[in-house]
């Protein structure tokens, strides 16, 4: 069974709900299989008439955190540039935007640090 939102394979059944493992949206069984949902509704009612089950379900989508480096972390990387390299290697696969910003700050600070040690621009 495929997810109506993203087309990925649906996950496990929990009670009367299916959960998509990719987009994390949840669906009631009657939404994905309306014929089965109507059959179960008529069994519960005890009548053989075909009934239309109308339910309102809310689909909650998990918003991903923005892929940005926070200002506080940027300041820490500015002051302690090795931290920027560590953050780059930790987040380069999961949050490429955050990792790229950390790498740029760390690279600039590393160049300035090495230039200061070498005495470039000084007396």
Quick: pLDDT tens for 82-95.
999 999 999 999 89
110 pLDDT more than 60: yes
Percent residues over pLDDT 90 in the chain: 37
CB 91 within 8 A of CB 100: no
Domain ranges in the chain are: 1-63, 71-118
Confidence tier at 5 by pLDDT (50, 70, 90):
low
Residues near 81 by beta carbon (within 8 Å), at least 6 away in sequence: 105, 106, 109, 110, 113
Confidence tier at 33 by pLDDT (50, 70, 90):
low
Higher pLDDT, 38 or 115: 115
- Give me the half-sphere count of Cα atoms (radius 13 Å) on the Cβ side of residue 87: 26
Tell me what the mean pLDDT of segment 15-33 comes to. Answer: 71
From CA 2, how far away is CA 38, in angstroms rounded? Answer: 20
pLDDT in tens, 40-96: 544 555 554 455 555 555 556 666 677 899 999 999 999 999 999 999 999 999 899
Stated as kind and residue range, the H or E segment containing 118 is helix 96-118
């Amino acid at each position: 069974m495929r997810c109506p939102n993203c087309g990925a394979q649906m996950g496990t059944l929990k009670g009367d709900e299916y959960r998509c493992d990719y987009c994390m949206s949840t669906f009631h069984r009657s939404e994905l299989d309306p014929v089965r949902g109507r059959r179960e509704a008529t069994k519960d009612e005890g009548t053989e008439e075909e009934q239309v089950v109308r339910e309102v379900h809310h689909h909650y989508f998990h918003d991903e955190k923005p892929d940005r480096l926070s200002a506080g972390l940027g300041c820490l990387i500015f002051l302690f540039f090795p931290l920027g390299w560590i953050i780059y290697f930790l987040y380069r696969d999961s949050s490429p935007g955050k990792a790229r910003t950390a790498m740029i700050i760390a690279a600039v600070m590393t160049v300035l640090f090495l230039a200061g040690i070498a005495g470039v621009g000084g007396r």
